[in-house]
Amino acid sequence: RMCPLGWLAVASLCLGTLWAVPAKDRRRVEKPKADLTLYENLDLDNYDLTLDNYGDILDLSNYEELYDYGDLVPKIEVGTLAPRPKHPKTPPELAGTTAGTPKPQPPSAAVPPAPIPGQALPCCLLCLCLGSSVYCDDAELERLPALPPGTAFLYARFNRIGAVRASDFSGLEKLQRIDLSSNSISWVEADAFRLLPSLQELLLPENRLEALPELPRSLLRLDASRNRIPSAGLRPEAFRELKQLQFLHLSDNQLDFIPVPLPESLRSLHLQNNQIRTMHEDTFCDSQEQGQIRRALEDIRLDGNPINLSLFPNAFFCLPRLPTGRF
C-alpha cells in the first residue's frame, strides 16, 4: 500500500514528462487539424473571388496594421501643388472611346487646298509673289497662270510658254512691265497688250515670234530681238502712234527694211543682224527741214546688215551721232 506522498511523486513525474515534449512538436501535431478544418469549409469547385465575397475571405478592417508604410507616404506642403491647367486636355484613353467626338485637325490655312481637276493652280502656288511683283522664272510653265489683280511687274522668263492670249492679262490695269524672255512664244493675240493702259515695258526676246501684235500707246520700251519677225510681220506705221517710245530693239530678226516712221521720242534703235539692204533719205531726218536736230536719237545700230551706209550721206544730218554699221 502506497502512501499519499508516493502518489504525489508519481503524478509529478508524469506531468514533467509531458511538459518535456518540445513546443515545436506540439504545434506540428495541432496544425494539421486546424488546416484540415479550414479546407473542409471551402468549396473549391465553386471558388470564385469577386467583390462580393472578397470581404469574407480577407479581413480588411485591420489592413493598415499589416503594413507600416512609414516614410513611403510623400510629405505634401501647403502651397507647393502645381496649379490646375485652364484647359485640361482629354486623356488619350477617353478621347479614343468618346463616341462622335472628331479628332482635332490642323488649321486649313496650313495645308494648301487640293486643286480641282481641270482648273489651273493659283498663281502664287506656282510663282513667287512679292507685293505687286510676280516671279515665274524657270517654272516650266506652258501658259501664263491667272495673275493677282494688283500685279504691276511680271517676270516669266525661261519657260515653255507657246502663246499669249488677251485673257492672260484681263483686268490688270496696273501692269507696267512684262518680261517673257526665253520662251517658245510663236503666237500673240492681237489685243493681248493693247488694252493694258499702264504698260511701259514689253520684253519678248528669244522667242519664235513671226509678227508683232498691236501695242499700247503708253509703251516706253519694246524688245523683240532674237525672234523670226520679217518686215511683213509689222503693221504699216506700227510705231507712229507710240509717242512715248524710247527704246526699240528688233535685232536678230528677218527685217529687210527700217520700220518708218519712227517716233520723235526714240532714243535707241537696235536693228543689227537683219536683212536690211537699203533705206530712204527721210528715214531719220526730214530732208525738207535742213535745220532739224534730233538730239534724242543717239544710239542706232545697223551693223550685221548687208546695207552700205555710205551710199546715204544725206540721211544722217540731223543726228548727233552716226549709226553703227558698214560705211
Overall pTM surpassing 0.85 (yes/no): no
Are 237 and 321 within one domain? yes
- 120 or 122: which carries more pLDDT confidence? 122
Within this chain, do residues 193 and 243 fall inside the same structural domain, yes or no?
no
Is 264 inside a domain boundary? yes
Contact call for residues 222 and 215 (beta carbons, < 8 A): yes
For the chain, percent of residues with pLDDT exceeding 70: 63
Do 233 and 319 sit in the same domain of this protein? yes
The answer to whether residues 202 and 260 belong to one domain is: no
Give the integer Cα–Cα distance in Å for 222 and 205: 9
Based on the domain organization, do 259 and 310 belong to the same domain? yes
| Beta strands, E only, 108-258 | 128-130, 133-135, 153-155, 163-164, 177-179, 187-188, 201-203, 221-223, 247-249
Distance spanning both ends of the chain, measured CA to CA: 180
Residue 4 — left, alpha, or beta (φ > 0 → left; ψ -120 to 50 → alpha)? alpha
Q: Is the dihedral of CA 187, 141, 197, 172 positive or negative?
A: positive
Cα four-point dihedral sign 18, 21, 26, 28: negative
pLDDT at 122: 81
| Dihedral sign (CA 62, 68, 72, 78) | positive
Same domain, 173 and 240: no
The parent domain of residue 290 ranges over 229-326
Q: What is the pLDDT of residues 35-89, one digit of tens each?
A: 444 445 555 555 555 555 555 555 545 544 444 544 544 454 444 444 555 554 4
* Per-residue pLDDT reduced to its tens digit, 199-254: 999 999 999 999 999 999 999 999 999 999 999 999 999 999 999 999 999 999 99
Q: Is residue 204 part of a domain?
A: yes
Residues 151 and 189 in one domain: yes
135 or 120, greater pLDDT: 135
Strand stretches in the chain, DSSP E: 128-130, 133-135, 153-155, 163-164, 177-179, 187-188, 201-203, 221-223, 247-249, 268-270, 299-301
Residue 61 lies in a domain: no
The answer to whether residues 279 and 305 touch, using CB atoms and an 8 Å cutoff, is no
Q: How many helices (H) and strands (E) does the chain have?
A: 6, 11
Beta-bridge partner residues of 49: none
8 A C-beta contact, residue 245 and residue 263: yes
Higher pLDDT, 110 or 15: 15
Q: How many domains, the chain?
A: 2
Omega prior to 261 cis, within 30 of 0: yes
Which of 163, 186, 214 terminates a domain? The answer is 214
